[in-house]
Structure 1
C-alpha cells in the first residue's frame, strides 16, 4: 500500500501526460513574433503613457474638460439639442414622451405649489382651517393618482402605436416624473406648446 512506484509506472505516467499535452496544444498557435527584450518592452511602455510633468496642469486640464462638457450639457438641456443631452433624455422615444407631457395639462404639475399652500394653512392656529386643508390635500392627492393612471395608460398606448418595434422601457415613468415638475422648470425645456400634438 505504501510502497514506492516502480520506474515503469512513473515513466508511463509522464509519457501519458506529454501525449495529452500534445493533443490539447495547437502546433499552429504561435505568437508570430519574437519576445521583445526587457529594455525594448520598458521603452515601449514609457512612450505609450504620456503623463504630464506638472500635476497641477493635468488636474486643471481635466477640470476644464469636465466644465466644458457640463456647459454643453446645460445648453443642450435649455435648447433641446439632442447631441449633448444626458443619456436618460436621449432618443426619439424619450423625446416623444417629453412632447406628450408638455402638450397636455395635468394636475400633477400643480401638486408642489398646492402642497406648499396646504403646509402654510396647516401651520395656522385655526383648527377648522387645518382640517379643511388636510381634507383638500387628500382629495387632491387621490385626483393626482387618478390623473397619473390616465396619463400613463394614454402614453403607453401612444408609444405602442408610434414605436411598435423600439424599446420603450422606462419611458412612462420618465414622463410621469416630468409631469410632477412645473412646466417652467422642466429640463430639457418644452419644445411644444400646450394643445399641440407631438
Structure 2
C-alpha cells in the first residue's frame, strides 16, 4: 500500500508541476524534461506514470477539471445566498482568476482549448467532458434560481447556461489579446442582462 501511495503522490506531483508550466507555454511548447525537472522526478520516470505525452495531457486536463468542478460546487452551495447571488459569484470568481495574467492554474482549459482540440482526440474529449460538467452545474443553478424567483431568465436554462459559458470563454480569450478587463466587464453586463437577478 505504501508503494501505491508513493506512486500516486509522484504522479500527482508531476501533474501539479505541469499546470503552471503548460498554462504559460501551451502543451506542444513544453518538453517533458522541463516538467520532470520542476517536479524533481528523474527523467527516466515519466513513462512509469503516463503511457505517452498525450496520455499525460489527458490526465492533466482531467486533474484540472476535477479541482475546477469542486470549486464550482462549493461556490454554488454557499450558505445564506440565493441561487442568483451564488451564480453571480461564480462569474466574479471567473473574472478574478482568468483576468489575472499571473494566475496560471485556472486558465489551463482556456489556454489549451484551441491547441489540443486539433492535436489530440483524447484531450479534446477530456475538454468536452470537463466543459460539459461546468455547463451542467450552471444549468442546475439557473433552474434553481428560476424556481425560487431570484432570476428572470427568458430562455430555457440549458441554452442560457451554454450561452453564458460561451460568452465567458470568449471574454477570456479576448482578455489575453487586449490585456485589459474590458472583455470581462462586457461579459458581466451581458450576464446580468440574461440572468436578470432579482433583489434579495
Select the structure that is richer in helix.
Answer: 2
Indicate whether the TM-score tops 0.5: no
The TM-score with structure 1 as length reference comes to 0.29
